Amino acid sequence: MPKPLNIGIVANTAFNIYNFRLSLIEALKQEGHRVIAIAPKDEYVELLLQHNIEFVEITQLARKGTNPFHDLKLWNEFRKKYRQNKLDIVLQYTIKPNIYGTLAAKWNGIKSVCTVTGLGYTFLNKNIASNVAHRLYKWAFSYAHKILFQNKDDATLFINQHIVEKNKVELVPGSGIDTDKFYPDFCSPKMEDDLSTTRFLMIGRLLKDKGIYEYVQAAQQIKKQHPQVEFQLLGDIDFNNPTAIKRHELNAWIQNETIVYKGFTKDTRPFICEADCVVLPSYREGMPRVILESMAMAKPCITTNAPGCKDAIIDGETGWLCEVANTADLKSKMENFIQVSPLQKQKMGKQARKRAVEVFSIHEVNSQYVRIIEILCRN
């Protein structure tokens, strides 16, 4: 067994660490390492502390914008906190920790592993902000020891644009799904009078980039032929995102009974149980967590052939892929689901569960991180 290490897990929110890295922290602690969560303070800090996880607050991290003065202060704070906690290696997530945390780690002689969980609108749009992001990524990643991507398309994009060196890149299948928490038997059998209603469910922030308009338009068209089909929507409006839908749009969809709005929840499992098929017509993802969680609960899924999404399911076997931003194709795939037999739906669900366990479970993902850390810190 390698010597115990001091490992920092760094992200832009404690929410991110608690919801997506908790199992990794526990796996690393089981290996005998000291693990410190490093992020701005929010309501999830208390939950981390309840799990006996050390927490170090970052005060200078603004999630949006690139102000050189503020970012210099952020770099300096990372540098001081990394040194004070005598870290051997940092695992960094989200844009600013990936950039300024890596530069701080380099200054302190600390090994760094960066994970790119997806490319947001700032990076993908062609403007001054995206140009700055490209340059900062390239600068920081030249010092990173390993850069992990959750899908091949994102990795290829960074390599082709000479932002990363190919020999530093590795693919990791998402953040890992707890298949003991998301499992089919969590759901009660459907009541007899419930079997005649087909329910689709879309989970996610209510953004244009998530394909919400295509979902609603497909629902409007399908309900003309199949009025008994129900289209549910679960998620919150992210008012800080420029592609967020407007409140009046949501209200109109609810009032004309196009969708059944389920609000926002911290536990999606009861809602996944209600659904027959989970839909995510997203334009791009790192690795779509809601699809993986739904697969783990043996639900067939419909998503797009976009980067990340197309890596999650096997078309025609665990669900269907449709074209990005194509309402007609999404409608066609949803009609496919309506028309297939209950036996075929059950078979697809079982295949989805099998794939979630074998490819996307926390055990698979965590073992990959443990291996990378051991290789980088081997002396």
SS3 assignment for 193-207: HHCCCCEEEEECCCE
Cα gap 54→273, rounded to integer Å? 35
pLDDT digits (tens, 9 = 90+) for 131-177: 888 899 999 999 999 999 999 999 999 999 999 999 999 999 999 99
More confident residue, 121 or 119: 119
Structure tokens at 201: 């469910």
Residue from 133, 139, 130 nearest 104 by CA: 139
Structure confidence at residue 237 as a pLDDT band (50, 70, 90): confident
This prediction's pTM: 0.92
Q: Report in angstroms the alpha-carbon separations of 288 from 8, 152, 268.
A: 25, 14, 14
Sheet holding 301-304, edge to edge: 260-261, 230-234, 199-203, 277-280, 301-304, 319-322
Cα gap 198→33, rounded to integer Å? 48
Cα gap 18→74, rounded to integer Å? 22
Residue 127 confidence (pLDDT) above 80: no
pLDDT at 192: 44
- What does DSSP say about strands 301-304 and 230-234: parallel, antiparallel, or unpaired? unpaired
Residue 33 confidence (pLDDT) above 90: yes
Contacts of 182 (CB under 8 A, 6+ apart): 269, 272, 293, 296, 297, 356
List, in order of start, the domains of the chain with CATH numbers.
6-176+361-376 (3.40.50.2000), 184-359 (3.40.50.2000)
Residue 118 confidence (pLDDT) above 70: yes
